[in-house]
């Protein structure tokens, strides 16, 4: 910025300040840093009628500060997600689709018995039902389901919701687990409860999934095994023993 342009901005800022505008209001019309404004305007006195207005405006800003921060953060989150969505190219490749489902199963699926995934997130459950169909050719009509709900929830309606979402017939739903009523039950219970979706005779399929996971993590496995050897004594600790810190 040349000297003349800077002088023009400074003079304009001073005129606006004499009219009683705040620094933020001035910056909307004079595009300079707040520190520059402070240097230019600190010698200009604020008249009483302007001081009252600025004080009221500052109080309003402070009162709305937390709300403004909340709204700003919501916009930031929206922008982050929108940007991230452009980083993934659709449709997913076959390998990417396979490993996405395998990873979700590794996190949310049964580890030692059957082939089953349990969750309360409708989107995750819908994806896994689709994944079972595409990867293992298991029709939703052949899947089994069980609900875990609270006593104040409508079991029939929840079954209809999950059936409509997944394509699993209502007759395929087994007996629901209804948590015993007590004074401390959660009032913010999950709207649709938790559902467990099971693939009949899916043990070998579960083993295949874990085989895929091992391939994906094979570069990390040596470090795991080395660390486990160093800390092998943790496997032999007496389960009945209690670690009591020494007396100082």
Q: Quick check: is 168 in a domain?
A: yes
Cis peptide before 91 (omega within 30 of 0): yes
Q: Do 192 and 154 fall into the same domain?
A: yes
Picking from 125, 143, 129, 132, the residue whose alpha carbon sits closest to that of residue 195 is 125
Q: At what angle do helices 94-108 and 122-136 cross, to 10 degrees?
A: 120
Is there a domain that residue 138 lies in?
yes
pLDDT, one tens digit for every residue, the chain (248 residues): 678 888 888 898 998 888 888 888 888 888 888 888 888 988 888 777 677 666 666 655 655 555 667 777 888 898 888 888 888 888 999 999 999 999 999 999 999 889 999 999 999 999 999 999 999 999 999 999 999 998 889 999 999 999 999 999 999 999 999 988 766 655 556 689 999 999 999 999 999 999 999 999 999 888 988 898 888 888 776 666 555 555 54
Query: What's the distance, CA 192 to chain centroid?
Result: 19
Does a structural domain hold residue 239?
no
57 with 174, same domain: the answer is no
3-state helix, strand, coil in the chain (%, to 5): 60, 10, 35
The answer to whether residues 64 and 104 belong to one domain is: no
DSSP three-state, residue 189: coil
Model confidence, pTM = 0.65
pLDDT for position 213:
94
Could you identify the residue written with the tokens 């059936």?
Answer: 163
118 in a domain, yes or no? yes
Strands 177-178 and 144-149: parallel
In a shared domain, residues 105 and 210: yes
- Both 98 and 68 in one domain: the answer is no
Supply the pLDDT for residue 8. 87
Q: Are strands 194-199 and 144-149 parallel, antiparallel or unpaired?
A: antiparallel
| One domain for residues 206 and 161 | yes
Let me know whether 69 and 120 are in one domain: no
Structure confidence at residue 141 (pLDDT): 97
pLDDT at site 29: 86
Instruction: Tell me: do 64 and 121 sit in the same domain.
Output: no
Residues 112 and 157 in one domain: yes
Same domain, 28 and 119: no
Query: What is the Cα–Cα distance from 53 to 55, expressed in whole angstroms?
Result: 5
Which pLDDT score is estimated for 139? 97
Q: 6: helix, coil or strand?
A: helix
Same domain, 116 and 18: no
Look up the domain containing 128 and give its range. Answer: 94-222
In total, how many domains does the chain have?
A: 2
Q: Is residue 36 part of a domain?
A: yes
pLDDT, position 25: 81
| β-pair type (115-119, 194-199) | antiparallel
Residue with tokens 């997600």: 81
> Is the separation of the CB atoms in 110 and 116 below 8 Å?
yes
Residue 84, in any domain of the structure = no
């Amino acid at each position: 910025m040349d000297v003349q342009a800077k002088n023009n901005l400074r003079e304009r800022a001073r005129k606006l300040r004499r009219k009683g505008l705040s620094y933020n209001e001035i910056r909307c019309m004079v595009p300079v840093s707040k520190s520059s404004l402070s240097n230019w305007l600190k010698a200009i006195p604020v008249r009483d009628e302007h001081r009252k207005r600025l004080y009221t405006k500052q109080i309003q800003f402070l009162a709305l500060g937390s709300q403004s921060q909340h709204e700003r953060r919501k916009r930031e989150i929206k922008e982050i997600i929108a940007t991230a969505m452009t980083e993934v190219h659709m449709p997913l490749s076959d390998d990417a689709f396979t490993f996405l489902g395998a990873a979700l199963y590794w996190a949310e699926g049964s580890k030692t018995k059957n082939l089953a995934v349990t969750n309360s997130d409708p989107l995750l459950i819908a994806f896994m039902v689709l994944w079972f169909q595409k990867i293992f050719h298991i029709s939703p009509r052949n899947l089994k389901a069980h609900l875990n709900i609270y006593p104040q929830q409508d079991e029939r309606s929840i079954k209809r919701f999950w059936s409509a979402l997944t394509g699993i017939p209502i007759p395929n739903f087994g007996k629901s687990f209804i948590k015993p009523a007590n004074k401390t039950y959660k009032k913010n219970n999950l709207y649709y409860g938790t559902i467990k979706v099971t693939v009949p005779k899916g043990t070998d399929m579960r083993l295949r999934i874990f085989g895929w996971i091992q391939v994906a993590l094979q570069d990390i496995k040596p470090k795991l095994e080395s660390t486990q050897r160093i800390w092998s004594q943790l496997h032999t600790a007496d389960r009945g023993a209690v670690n009591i810190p020494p007396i100082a």
